[in-house]
Amino acid sequence: MKYLSLKEFLFAALFTSLTVIGSYLIIPLPISPVPITLQTFFVLMSGLIGGKFVGLLSQLIYLLIGFIGIPVFAGGLGGIGILFSPTGGFLIAFPIAAFISGISKQTTSTNLLILKLISAKFIIYFSGVVFMIIGWDFNIISALSAGVLPFIPGDAIKVILLLIINKRLININYL
């Protein structure tokens, strides 16, 4: 069992806070019940910078405070009922995505980093689409059209930004 240091707990709190801030920066989409936010940028960054356990912890804390009713989800929503909304599947994948993006923290291999970030995004997409199909009676085409396709360009930009951030921080002992 790995114990986190005080510094790692502080990083987890920072990334929880950044994810909350990212949830308030929204662009509603007329074709989707899921808005564009900066949440996933900070989810992936939490693992990338903090490592897999810091990323996982930060997103578990984020979900916990949201599920108990604090309005930290997109658009200032909170409560366990959000799990039963079209965005619920995306949210529950955040801890796993953060963990995946934190595997091999500070890697110097660009290909490995791209693979990690795309894999983490895939987990979020997959969970969200499955939730939309099972819980909201979307068919596969409408779930992909509402839950994946509108987000690909922005997520590509997020991955590029994370690659740049990683390149800048790789030689700094920040954690």
pLDDT tens column, 114-144: 999 999 999 999 999 999 999 888 999 999 9
Q: Which domains are assigned to the chain?
A: 6-169 (1.10.1760.20)
Please list, in sequence order, all residues whose beta carbon lies within 8 angstroms of the beta carbon of residue 40, skipping any fewer than 6 positions away.
Answer: 22, 94, 97, 121, 124, 155, 158
pTM comes to: 0.91
Closest CA to 58 of 175, 148, 166: 175
- Give the model confidence (pLDDT) of 136-168 as tens digits: 889 999 999 999 999 999 999 999 999 998 888
Question: What distance in Å separates the CA atoms of residue 132 and residue 146, rounded to the nearest whole number?
Answer: 9
